[in-house]
Amino acid sequence: MKPLIYLDNAATTKTAKEVVDAMLPYFTEYYGNPSSIYSLGSKSKEAVTDAREIIAGTLGAQANEIYFTAGGSESDNWALKATAEAYESKGKHIITSAIEHHAILHTCDYLEKRGFEITYIGVDENGVLKLDELKAAIRPDTILISVMFANNEIGTIQPIKEIGEIAKEHGILFHTDAVQAYGQLPINVDEYHIDMLSASGHKLNGPKGIGFLYIRKGVKIRSFVHGGQQERARRAGTENVTGIVGIGAAAQRAMRIMEEKTKKESGLRDYLIERIEAEVPYCRLNGDRSRRLPNNVNFSFRFVEGESLLIMLDMEGICASSGSACTSGSLDPSHVLLAIGLPHEIAHGSLRLTLSEETTKEEIDTVVEAVKKIVERLRSMSPLYEDFVKKQK
Amino acid sequence: MYSEKVMDHFQNPRNVGEIENASGVGTVGNAKCGDIMRIYLDIDENQIIRDVKFKTFGCGAAVATSSMATELVKGKNIQEAMKITNKAVAEALDGLPPVKMHCSLLAEEAIHAALWDYAQKHNITIEGLQKPKSDIHEGEETEEEEY
């Protein structure tokens, strides 16, 4: 077996040892229900309170503005559906972007079927939201703008502060899906005028099945789960105490190591980009070169199909991801790659590599050699490449 | 997700390449949905498929079905080759995931398209063979080519 090279940290991350260590006592020792009156329950309650305070602190928010959920998708669903319901007397128009995660896009479809109108703002060739298009889309009945902080596929970081200012100016609520950004980039909800923010634990070396939604005090938002007083009665159900302890520990760790981690990852990221651009012909870097998540690399290789590339990388022990249709079970390639203007056949040949703080230069070198070899092999089998070569002659 | 046979044919595809001055060439699929398959046939005077090669742009299943389809037609006469269905290709690979069944259909169509090309060049009719739907080349706005 070849040693595993894990470059799919945008999909999920390894739970950090210090996070697991923090969680473990809450399974077997402090297993009480936070709602119980006795001291065993109080111990759990304290842990939940501590985690909430830690997270609030990382965003410049108040503890009572943090609501724990089961993850990013739930937070996105909640933010959109509950806002739509609470503000529909004001209007039924929502603005989002063309490159959101499906947790947003499919929730928008759901709302559209229930009489809401959704405007999808386009992005430029690097995946940056078109602010003039956003301004032009605002109507008197617009109740919400939801734009992701950073894109999960191509790593482009959006002009969140500008979007927040536009929303504020027009008295419109602003939600951001920060699942990829939280823990990687410094975020301050007041500075960026963010009213709601979704995040997930397992993207920042925390456990899976836990996330949170930040809801600014004063924002009217309905309960998502009914049945108890948990999360200020807005999301009932016994708290996922171990998960909450885990996301708290993960957030604390992420803030502590952010500067160093960013420096290391972005250095290796740029090295990886540089080598691929220099050594693999007919490739294209997707996403913005400077407004980019420190750990994201996304390339399209012409004449090559993404799933084949992933299987061959897997055989070399390399875990990566693609925007190819074949990886999603549908026939269309990634909506993000199409939104930045890639033609279908080039979008099918994309490869996403997302680094962690444990990634080494040796691993990057191994990956570059593997990508070179595999792309060459797949091209030698590709009728598109054959036609291209014949045309060149 | 894939059977061992599919993985074997993907990792060690049989009959990859081109045949110069082939008796028949067929290209099917389109870049839009991410699968393009091209099959080259070398057919002798007794209508036996002496050699076959393929090139495929597509996922693991597309490569494996191309490879298996070439194995199945090699050495057969053209009537026998006509009887090779997408089901036979998928079965020979110990099955495909449901979302990948269209790949096996592509293999059947590619063989038919190559046989059609052969029939056109030799001005013959092959029983049961219909004009392939399309022969799609690279590019977004491809139109159906008239034969």
pLDDT digit string (tens) for A282-336? 999 999 999 999 999 999 999 999 999 999 999 999 999 987 655 555 667 899 9
Is residue B133 assigned to a domain?
no
The two most distant CA atoms of chain A are separated, in Å, by 82
Residue B142 confidence (pLDDT) above 80: no
CB pairs under 8 A between A and B: 78
Is residue B138 assigned to a domain?
no
Write the CA distances from B45 to A205, B26, B48, B77, integer angstroms. 66, 20, 7, 10
The helix/strand count (H/E) of chain A reads as: 13, 12
pLDDT digit string (tens) for A33-73? 999 999 999 999 999 999 999 999 999 999 999 999 999 99
Local confidence band at B127 (pLDDT 50, 70, 90 cut-offs): confident
Question: What one-character-per-residue DSSP string does A268-324 give?
Answer: HHHHHHHHHHHHSSSEEE-S-SSSB-TTEEEEEETT--HHHHHHHHHHTTEE-B---
Of B11, B17, B18, B33, the catalytic one is B33
CA distance B53 to B26: 11
For the question of residue B59 being annotated catalytic, the response is no
What's the structural domain count of chain B? Answer: 1
> In this structure, what CATH number is given to the domain that contains residue B95?
3.90.1010.10
Question: CB burial class (10 A; 0-12, 13-18, 19+) of residue A117?
Answer: middle
**Mean pLDDT over residues A105-126, rounded?**
97
Residue B84 lies in domain: 4-122
Query: Which residues is A297 bridged to in the sheet?
Result: A353
Q: What angle do CA A96, A101, A106 make, to 5 degrees?
A: 75
The pLDDT of residue A221? 87
Is residue B130 assigned to a domain?
no
- Percent pLDDT > 90 in chain A is 94
Mean pLDDT of chain A: 95
CB contact under 8 A, A386 and B59: no
The pLDDT of residue A152? 96
Q: Which residue has the higher pLDDT, B135 or A223?
A: A223
Q: How many Å lie between the alpha carbon of A309 and the closest alpha carbon of chain B?
A: 8
| CA dihedral sign of residues A294, A144, A334, B4 | positive
* Cβ neighbours around A43 below 10 Å, total: 18
Q: How many Å lie between the alpha carbon of A384 and the closest alpha carbon of chain B?
A: 6
Q: pTM score, two decimals?
A: 0.92
Local confidence band at B146 (pLDDT 50, 70, 90 cut-offs): very low
Amino acid in the structure at residue B120 = Q
**Mean pLDDT over residues A98-103, rounded?**
96
**Mean pLDDT over residues A192-200, rounded?**
98
CB < 8 Å to B32, chain A: 331, 344-345
Mutate to test the interface with B, among A375, A387, A392 (most CBs of B within 10 A): A387
The pLDDT of residue A331? 65
Is residue B28 assigned to a domain?
yes
The pLDDT of residue B141? 40
pLDDT digit string (tens) for A364-382? 999 999 999 999 999 999 9
Is residue B107 assigned to a domain?
yes
For A104, which DSSP code? H
Q: How many Å lie between the alpha carbon of A305 and the closest alpha carbon of chain B?
A: 5
3-state class (DSSP) for residue A141 = coil
Query: Which residues is A319 bridged to in the sheet?
Result: A6
Is residue B137 assigned to a domain?
no
CB contact under 8 A, B55 and A383: yes
3-state class percentages of chain A: helix first, strand second, coil last, to nearest 5: 45, 15, 40
**Mean pLDDT over residues A114-129, rounded?**
98
For chain A, the C-alpha Rg in angstroms (whole number) is 22
Query: Which residues is A211 bridged to in the sheet?
Result: A69, A200
CB < 8 Å to A384, chain B: 31, 36, 57, 138
- Percent pLDDT > 70 in chain A is 98
CB contact under 8 A, B34 and A305: yes
3-state class (DSSP) for residue B128 = coil
Cross-chain CB nearest to A329 (options B16, B63, B99) = B99
Is residue B128 assigned to a domain?
no
The pLDDT of residue B144? 37
* Cβ neighbours around A141 below 10 Å, total: 13
Of B19, B96, B103, B105, the catalytic one is B103
Is residue B140 assigned to a domain?
no
CB proximity A316 to B under 8 Å: no
